[in-house]
With several copies, the nearest count.
Chain A
Amino acid sequence: MIDKFRADPMSALAPIPSGACVAVGGFGSSGRPDTLLDALCDLDRRGLHVIVNNVGSDFTGIGRLLAEGRIRRLTASFPVLPDFYDEYFAGRVELELIPQGTLAERLRAGGAGIPAFYTPSGAGTMLTDGTFPLGYDPDGQVAERMQAREHRSFSGREHVLEYGIVADFALVKAHKGDRKGNLRFRLSARNFNPLAAMSGRYTFAEVEHLVAAGDLAPDDIHLPGVFVDEVLLRSELSPRQPAIPRSGS
């Protein structure tokens, strides 16, 4: 029988290796899978490529990953946290900056088997012309730039070709979930969660409430369980866990 519930985040997330590409749901702290992110930190995973809309404004969640020096590359639209930029300009983290709607669509496309699509967003800007600095050298010089996008005109208007994102793993947070992996979100905490879940080759969902199969009516499910591999309960302690001081790296 299908039972995707796992009691222990640490053992569930153990297969995620250092260096993995991980898509994460949430918009700031709203809808962010803090329990799963904490487990990733407690497992001491490093060199991660994290895909998330924004870092948030403190050292919880993605901020903790950052503070502990676990992120190699961030793909995001709005990093926010000033400490992130210190790391970026110092050459310790790469930043792939993507328009928010393009990021959402790329995650969906990856999960939907669409390898690439055209969008007008960002056409003719430095985020698509190959000039935006992906990363810096330790001496502050640009080490690498984001790849230029193919441009193509449709109906007389410039568009860029963007690729679907398939992440090795996805970490998302839902309000309710059942043992088949069906998820329901609450208000604007939905945001990137369904899309990150679709994008993951293997997807972990942190839920506030584990409900019996059938408690969520078929029409009330926001994301069907076929996109979710394991379901874990959110720990109430998560948001209050302190960040471990930044490691050397």
Chain B
Amino acid sequence: MTETAATAAVGGRSREAIAQRLAADLRDGYVVNLGVGIPLLVPRFIPPDVEVILHAENGVLGLGPPAADGQEDPDLTDAGKQPATVITGAAIVDSALSFAVVRGGHLDVTVLGALQVSGRGDLANWYVPGRNPAVGGAMDLVAGAREVWAVMEHVDRAGQPKIVERCTFPLTGRHVVTRVYTDLAVFHVADGQLRLTECAPGVSPAAVRDRTAAPYIEDLAGRDGSGAGALRRG
């Protein structure tokens, strides 16, 4: 990987398109927690025949869209403390039961932004040393959800890869990420092994390779992992 390659424009998905790509992988009946940033764009792209129960850390199961202007209720917010609504059939629980849902494996997917993801599935997303530390529910979510989908730009603002051999930022959890959705590609992680399963439209495997700093298997034959794949080093 060279800096020239990493910073050159290679096309790829917009933030909305990343959210849309991820939304296509949600299945009917999933219970899903969405972090801030790109994850919050996901709901608008969930197919109409797919019903997903959105979980908010502060105890909402069945979160609806943000509250309309003038319709705010101070007793109903999302986990980002923004005025929220609930869907028909929603339930409210206290914070202990909310995290019992999370840790107990009753959450199918948590979708989180990331600073870095390692090739083994380590996630760093809660703290940039020198800045203000705050963790919220991130460590519970990655420890408890059945699947952890990291969503992020493939490289940082300086053009440095965010998929790395070893995270340099403090970890949120070890061996927790199961998928990575970026503007350039989709990766799966299983048994500590990263696999590139899809390149964004117009993005070449070589462009992904140049911007990825962790070893991975190229497994583009099918998202099911049916392709044989060859080990590549980033």
Contact = CB atoms under 8 A, between A and B. Distances in A.
Q: Do chains A and B touch in the complex (CB under 8 A)?
A: yes
Interface of A: 1-2, 27-31, 53, 57, 77-80, 82, 85, 95, 97-105, 107-108, 110-114, 119-127, 132, 158, 175, 178-180, 182, 185-195, 198, 213-214, 216, 218-219, 221-222, 224-227
Most buried by A among B51, B81, B143, B172: B143
B34 interface: no
Contacts of B97: 112, 224
The 3 lowest CB-CB distance pairs between A and B, nearest first, are A113-B103, A101-B99, A101-B140
Interface residues of B, number: 59
A101 B137 contact: yes
Given A2-B53, A194-B94, A195-B95, A127 B88 contact: no
A77 B137 contact: yes
Interface string B129-170: 000111111111001100000000000000000000000001
B136 A100 contact: yes
B146 to A, nearest CB: 11
A224 B56 CA distance: 13
Interface of B: 28-29, 31, 49, 51, 53, 55-62, 73-77, 81, 84, 86, 88-107, 127, 132-140, 143-144, 170-174
A125 B125 CA distance: 12
B139 A226 contact: no
A218 B58 CA distance: 14
B135 to A, nearest CB: 6
Nearest to A158: B174
A191 B144 CA distance: 19
Contact of B103 (A30, A119, A126, A189): A119
6 contacts: A95-B133, A99-B138, A111-B100, A113-B105, A158-B174, A190-B59
